[in-house]
Amino acid sequence: MTAHMSPRIFPFAAILMVSSAFAADWPQWRGPLRTGMVPASEPVPITLNAEPPVVWRAPLGDGFASPVVAQGRLFYLDNQDAQEVAHATDAATGKELWKAAVFSSHKDGFGIGPRCTPLIDGDRLYVQSAKGEFQCLNAGDGKLLWKTNFVDDLGAIYIGEKGKAAGASRHGASGSPIIDGENILVQVGSANGASIVAFNKLTGAIVWKSQNDQTAYAAPILAELAGTRQFIAFTAEALIGLDPRDGKLLWRQPLSTSLGRHVTTPVVVGDLVIVASHTLGMVATKISAAAGTFTATEAWTNKKAAMNFASPVAVGTHLYGVGPSKNLLCVDSATGEIAWEKNGLIQTSADKAEAAFLIMDKNVAMLTDGGLFVLFAADPQAYREAGRAQLCGTNWCNPAYADGKLYLRDQRELLAVDLLK
């Protein structure tokens, strides 16, 4: 598509865009459902302008944490003077509303700054530093409401990039927490029975603690499996399912690697939970239940579909993600077989290749770590591209999408891009 052409949008898009100023939020990691799916009520492009207009841009510090959007405000974390700092901005203009220092920054071979995407719930913003400082802030002014520290208060271990340190103790706490009703479920990573902790989201009081796993980097999800709603986490040691009401272990599938480098957010398709890592490959675990007892069994493994840092998305029965050869892959969730692959879109090193994925109706959008934004059909038969645009520089950021705007960051700037023009 040429630069002067405008993308087509769904006929009802104009109605949706004026019906509510805050018609859709992107309040947490990978969106409202944590699946990367843009809500059906949101207007999305079905073709892509080669040069979509930048609504605003603003400088920011280093970091890997993704922005989130709620009620017309955008929240993000960055590194400022060796501190992880939370910011609130006006989503329409990029004007900063407030900022608040959270904790001293973690630094390693990947860089410096925050890794964990913040979470907005009503009038509260939850932020987590790489060193394990967890805070609940007033979303209106950034004032601290309550906090806890994984190391000092709950016995987690933070070492940094030294020796054989694995998981979050090595590269920092990265897996964004998740809201469950009145609670917020957090991957603390303490071997003292507090790998996963549920806090009352308003007071910070501990509701329950569970397991002894060292946490990795993957964000947890909530999903229904075998007829039961579950909290699912990909830790440094296993894939686990807990009862979110009390933390009871429902099932465990051991999955471990030497440094606990497990990054991908679990994806659920039917009763399969699918995760991937550079070492393990892509692994599907079947969850079944009989007489109240849950069983986890390996359904398939495909080393050729190993997805290292980039969490895939599922559309129907197929997954889309980045494989070990910097190749865009379409994978059949039932069998693990690769339906098709596309090379040449990702230019960084194979070991550190990253991309973020959004589901936009019948298309999938991919933002590569080189800043290339590509729209392609969610079609297991073949790769069909609907447009591409170079939006930013080097990044490891899952963008947020709300009201037709893509909010993203690279290592220098925060940007809002209008994808519907």
DSSP 140-199: TT--EEEEEEHHHHH------S-TT--THHHH---S--EEETTEEEEEEEETTTEEEEEE
Q: Answer yes or no: is pLDDT of 19 > 60.
A: no
Residue 316, pLDDT score: 97
Q: Rounded mean pLDDT of 180-199? A: 97
135 close to 147: Cβ distance less than 8 angstroms: yes
**Helix, strand, or coil (residue 304):** helix
Any idea which of 14-18, 73-77, 209-213, 374-378 has the lowest mean pLDDT? Answer: 14-18
Q: Report how far residue 408's alpha carbon sits from residue 367's, in angstroms, rounded to the nearest whole number.
A: 9
Angle at 273 between CA 367 and CA 293, to 5 degrees: 160
Give residue-wise pLDDT tens across range 384-399. 999 999 999 999 989 9
| Overall average pLDDT of the 310-328 stretch | 95
* 149-170: pLDDT as tens digits: 999 999 999 999 999 999 999 9
What pTM was estimated for this model as a whole? 0.93
pLDDT, residue 349, reads 64
Residues above pLDDT 90, as percent of the chain: 89
Residue 29 main-chain phi, psi, to 5 deg: -50, 125
Domains of the chain: 1-24+47-60+317-421 (2.40.128.630)
Quick one: pLDDT band at residue 24, thresholds 50, 70, 90?
A: confident
Q: How far, in Å, CA of 331 to CA of 352, rounded?
A: 21
Report the residue count for the chain. 421
pLDDT at 209 over 70: yes
pLDDT in tens, 287-298: 999 998 999 999
Contact between residue 327 and residue 303 where contact means Cβ atoms under 8 Å apart: no
Please give the structure tokens belonging to residue 214. Answer: 């060292």
pLDDT value for 354: 86
Whose CA is closest to 322, among 273, 356, 362, 363?
Answer: 356
Mean pLDDT calculated for residue range 180-209: 98
Query: How does pLDDT run across 55-92, given as a tens digit for each residue?
Result: 999 999 999 999 999 999 999 999 999 999 999 999 99
Q: Is the pLDDT score of 23 beyond 60?
A: no
DSSP character string of 91-105: TTT--EEEEEEEEEP
- Residue 350, pLDDT score: 58
pLDDT at 14 > cutoff 50: no
Q: Residue 7's closest CA among 47, 52, 42?
A: 47
The CA distance from 316 to 18, in Å, is 31
Residues 337-344: contacts with CB under 8 Å, at least 24 apart: 337/302, 338/302, 338/304, 338/305, 339/380, 339/381, 340/380, 340/381, 340/382, 340/383, 342/383
- Give the CA dihedral 260, 261, 262, 264, nearest 10 degrees: 170
**Per-residue pLDDT tens over the stretch 321-365:** 999 999 999 999 999 999 999 999 987 765 667 899 999 999 999
| H-run or E-run covering 17 | helix 13-19
- Residue 218, SS3 per DSSP: coil
What is the pLDDT at residue 12?
32
User: What pLDDT, on the 0 to 100 scale, is given for residue 3?
Assistant: 35
Which burial class, exposed, middle or buried, applies to 108 when counting CB atoms under 10 A from its CB (0-12, 13-18, 19+)? middle
Q: Is the dihedral of CA 137, 140, 143, 145 positive or negative?
A: negative
Lowest mean pLDDT among 5-9, 111-115, 300-304: 5-9
What integer best gives the mean pLDDT of the chain? 93
